[in-house]
Amino acid sequence: MTEHDSPDDILLAALAGLLPVQEPEAPVRLALRERILAQAVKPKGMTVLRADEGEWQPILPGIRIKSLRKGEGTETTLWRIDAGASVPPHPHRQQEECLVLEGSVIQSGVEYFAGDFLLAEAGLDHEAFLSPRGALLMIRSEPVPDPRVLVSLQKR
């Protein structure tokens, strides 16, 4: 096998048991993975969004969100919060579920870390979420408002 072998050549060699002991170079390995995943059948009744799929949208300075799922009156999103950024105080018309996946956030003087789950009840007025070290959150709540609404909340 050489670096000029195509992913098809390497795959055929693997199936024939002719692969060398060493792994193929990273670009070839990644090309093989992409081909396999592109042809993988998604289970019936499931929606799959891979980590590299979807689009991160800037919503506030230092904060980007990626929508995972929109349902009737709810939305599940990932929130990437840069170190030092904050989510402004905001009201809740519905419950909001928040799971800290990475980093930490501070709410009402208490710091929450990866694995911590927060449930804000409907009608709660949230204080600001601070993230001195940065964080990744998964949030399920009412649909995320237009970024201009959040910016106006931040200026209050």
Query: What is the reported pTM?
Result: 0.68
Which residues are 156's β-sheet partners? none
Q: Give the residue from 66, 29, 65 showing the smallest Cα distance to 50.
A: 66
CA distance 91 to 150: 11
Residue 88, φ and ψ in degrees, nearest 5: -70, 160
CA distance 105 to 114: 9
pLDDT of the residue at 56: 95
CA distance 33 to 46: 21
Could you give all domains of the chain from N- to C-terminal order, each with its CATH number?
Answer: 7-39 (no CATH), 57-154 (2.60.120.10)
pLDDT of the residue at 55: 93
Residue 96, φ and ψ in degrees, nearest 5: -130, 125
pLDDT of the residue at 151: 55
pLDDT of the residue at 45: 80
CB atoms within 10 A of CB 24: 19
pLDDT of the residue at 66: 95
Q: pLDDT tens per residue, the chain (156 residues)?
A: 556 677 777 777 667 766 556 777 888 888 887 777 777 766 778 888 888 888 999 999 999 999 999 988 889 999 999 999 999 888 888 999 999 999 999 999 999 999 999 999 999 888 888 999 999 999 999 887 665 555 555 555
pLDDT of the residue at 140: 95
Side-chain-side CA neighbours of residue 54 (13 Å)? 18
pLDDT of the residue at 118: 95
